[in-house]
Structure 1
């Protein structure tokens, strides 16, 4: 990055992961940054808040080895990444011990070896999965923009689709496969499963999210002169005559909107009405996270994958579960994640928790010790109704540069990736590079 400052004074509105990335990169480039956020805590939708003596993340997040910019940013602000995460090769293993396990090493051989060794998947499904992956790779991981994931995989055996593609789709895009963008999923597969060695590795947080970026980044910024204004909801941005911008009447040379799409649309409604309409039109998918306590129970591994509708007639809301005790976060505590959770949000918390209890009791019926529902207590339920934008085919996302001297950073701006932490962090870098180029 150039050492020339993008502006003498820069306003960054929003202190989520996109805003923190923006502020760090702007400071590195020589700008004097003022960081605003309507909340009193940095981190946005990926933060930690205390409950019953624990720092619970606002939903259980997973990073992967392909999140190179996120990991680099963490290291830059002083985070020991090796100590902060439990790292392991990709493993989508159910409570019965079955599932896909990728070995280490170069991506393509690892994927081939992992699929060929997936003994519970019929040979026809394994070979078809490898054939589809080969075609996607030879085609440059491109497909028509209007294809859904279901359309992309219509000739893939159902066993392979249910065992791998569907869980990867809901984990990465937070959108059901019948509605999800095939092109975005192919981009994710290219980066993770077929990128540099280790790209598909799972990185499970061993510390609260607040300690892995928001806290250290804010401390780094303040030590480098950033002014932090928490609890400050910006009401008005406007261009100044002769150049520059005003934020609630205060003069800046440039502005980066790193707030939510809804807030950005509000701030730009009169200045960039077409951009504002595009941002406001984004649809969203919820994520529900449920924390349960079961004294004395430990899972065989830190992360479990739960097959969809494993038993006919038995609802299976959670796709993934995490043993927080094995991660060193909270003994006897388990986080269950329901992605693409619109159906369960509509059913309500009570029905969701009851269905989840039944799902776990059945999933661990053959385990020793078994999941004993009478010993389980409910710790917390958190519903993020706008967890991610709905990553649908041919989606029109707002640009990162709606006006001269004003950029937008966020996981929702136009780009090839779904709404992920890596997408947010990358958008912060791109926002500053855009201002530098301008």
Structure 2
């Protein structure tokens, strides 16, 4: 059975690998020159970085399994560390190497800059959420959820709101509380201690999955067509035509804003959130005490130590920073951070539609379409999560497994 996968991001790669492993003749179409979509490596002035920063957790089980499947060893490619939330005010919450849920309880009770009463109230609140299976009574924003729970103190400012923005790329005032609860369920609320670990890449994002998956696909007979933008999908009597070439089945694994042009009945009307990454070089080389630090009170929300004296400042969601050009933005961040000896080198990467806005009541389409031979994959179709790499991978696997199961039952060809 010949199958087309349109889009070489993490969802498309997951689908292509799953289908190829099941024996399908897979053709992967990618409009860009490299695989990876919105999570890929880029070369900047002879050095390898990323087109944006992504926080990965031990809870990304399907992503880690897919990496292993294509020969990318997570133990070598990640620096795995227990979760720490540190910011520029002196706040620090660090999870120890203890079994869950003791690791979270100890981390909460030992957090600096928070009174004991607030810690105990938060522990009781978290226990109540867990007993309710992280299911909320109705759609609400994270800010409203925290207000109702009495979470108005230091932990809200230093922990919940930063984690919400990091996970949903949408500020607490507009973010879906249920989606945030789902993220907490599979991380801080997990029964597996390893799920709370931070996975800090030792390499660029391309080397984590896109490049190994591309090599694996080619080695197993799949076709990869880079720099090939699909312009038309049509139904045929025996399949799906991709720009006139017929396939038995197809998966659209593009970003949601491109789906409607290919299959109008699957159009998604989303608002989007931007992300900017500002890479900054320092001499002498600077090294953070912990590779990931939260920043309060300025444009930058997170600083990531990329090694060799380069720091990546991450600006998530809409804000005044969007009005600044690259030079002004780099200068503003230098003033905010106040770190000594920046060199003249910097690079700003902006993703204007980095993620969909994870707001309450957001419509998430079914991965099945009006045509039984055409499926959707992408983080926006994985309704349990906001826009995450794990959601993208799971969506790709789901679409591929549905096709394989249908083919086994009906011998669709």
Q: What TM-score, normalized to structure 2?
A: 0.94
Q: Aligned equivalents of 2:293 and 2:240: distance in 1?
A: 49
Asked if structure 2 preserves the Cα contact closer than 8 Å seen for 1:324 and 1:335, the reply is yes
The 2-side partners of 1:230 and 1:81 are apart by 26
- Maintained 8 Å contact 1:19/1:258: yes
Match of 2:48 in 1: 55
1:125, 1:157 within 8 Å by CA — same for their partners in 2?
no
Once the two structures are superposed, the pairs formed by residues 354-373 of structure 1 within 5 Å of their partners are: 354-361=331-338, 371-372=339-340
Structure 2 equivalent of residue 398 of structure 1? 365
Show the counterpart of 1:425.
393
What is the deviation of 1:174? 0.3
Determine the C-alpha separation between the residues in 1 that align with 2:391 and 2:382. 10
Match of 1:129 in 2: 122
| Alpha-carbon distance between aligned partners in 2 of 1:135 and 1:122, rounded to the nearest angstrom | 20
Instruction: Return the match for 2:376 from 385, 408, 428.
Output: 408
Give the C-alpha shift of residue 390 in structure 1: 0.2
Match of residue 111, structure 1, among 104, 110, 113? 104
**Which of 226, 230, 238 is the matching residue for 2:226?**
230
Aligned length: 401
The equivalent of 2:186 in structure 1 is: 191
SS in 2 for 1:107: coil
- Which secondary structure does the structure 1 equivalent of 2:402 belong to? helix
Counterpart among 323, 340, 352 of residue 346 in structure 1: 323
- Unmatched 5+ residue regions in structure 1? 1-7, 310-315, 326-330, 362-370
Counterpart Cα distance in 2 of 1:379 and 1:224? 40
Match of 1:379 in 2: 346
Structure 2 residue runs of 5 or longer lacking an equivalent are 407-413
Q: Please say which of residues 125-134 and 38-47 is displaced more in the overlay.
A: 125-134
Task: Report the Cα offset of residue 375 of structure 1.
Answer: 3.4
Q: Contact between 1:175 and 1:340, CA under 8 Å: does it hold in 2?
A: yes
User: What SS does structure 1 have at the residue aligned with 2:379?
Assistant: coil
Give distance in 2, aligned partners of 1:285 and 1:346.
Answer: 15
Please state how far the C-alpha of 1:414 moved relative to its aligned partner. Answer: 4.6
- Structure 1 stretch 125-134 or stretch 423-432: which is displaced more? 125-134
Find the aligned partners of 2:144 and 2:171 in 1 and give their Cα distance. 12
SS in 2 for 1:198: helix
Q: Alpha-carbon deviation of 1:437?
A: 4.0
CA distance in 2, matches of 1:166, 1:116: 19
Partner in structure 1 of residue 309 of structure 2 = 332
- For the 8 Å contact 1:288–1:341, the answer to whether it is kept is no
Moved more, 423-432 or 156-165: 156-165
- What residue is the counterpart of 2:411 in the other structure? none
Please give the residue correspondences for 1:259-278 in structure 2 after superposition, counting only pairs within 5 Å. Answer: 259-269=254-264, 272=265, 275-276=266-267
Q: Distance in 2 between matches of 1:224 and 1:437?
A: 21
SS at match of 1:121: coil
2:145 to 152, 166, 169: 152
Structure 1 match to 2:292: 303
Equivalent in the alignment of 1:209 = 205
Which segment drifts farther, 228-237 or 374-383?
374-383
The TM-score with structure 1 as length reference comes to 0.89
Q: 1:295 to 1:71 in 2, by over 3 A?
A: same
Contact 1:144 1:183 in 2 (8 A): no
- C-alpha contact (below 8 Å) 2:382/2:392 kept by paired residues: no
Which residue matches 1:323?
305
Distance 2:159 2:95 in 1: 12
Q: Distance between the aligned counterparts of 1:132 and 1:59, measured in 2?
A: 34
Alpha-carbon deviation of 1:377?
Answer: 2.9
Task: Provide the C-alpha distance between the structure 1 equivalents of 2:325 and 2:119, rounded to a whole number of angstroms.
Answer: 38
* Residues 285 and 342 in structure 1, CA contact (< 8 A), matched pair in contact too: no
Q: How far off its partner does 1:435 sit?
A: 2.0
Cα pair 1:62 1:204 within 8 Å, conserved = yes
CA distance in 2, matches of 1:147, 1:104: 34
Post-superposition shift, 1:262?
A: 1.9
CA contact 1:173–1:418 (8 Å) conserved in 2: yes
Distance 1:376-1:158 versus aligned 2 partners, 3 A rule: farther
1:288 matched residue in structure 2: 276
Match of 2:195, SS state, is: coil
**Map of 1:5 onto structure 2:** none
Question: What's the secondary structure of 2:43's corresponding residue?
Answer: strand
CA contact (8 A) 1:62 1:205 kept: no
Partner of 1:255: 250
Q: Does the Cα contact within 8 Å between 1:145 and 1:181 map onto a contact in 2?
A: no
SS of alignment partner, residue 381 of structure 2: coil
| DSSP 3-state at the match of 1:299 | coil
The superposition leaves residues 49-71 of structure 1 with CA deviations (integer Å, 9 ceiling, x where unpaired) of 11111012001222100000001
Change over 3 Å in CA distance of 1:66–1:414 after alignment to 2: closer
Q: 1:96, CA displacement in angstroms?
A: 6.1
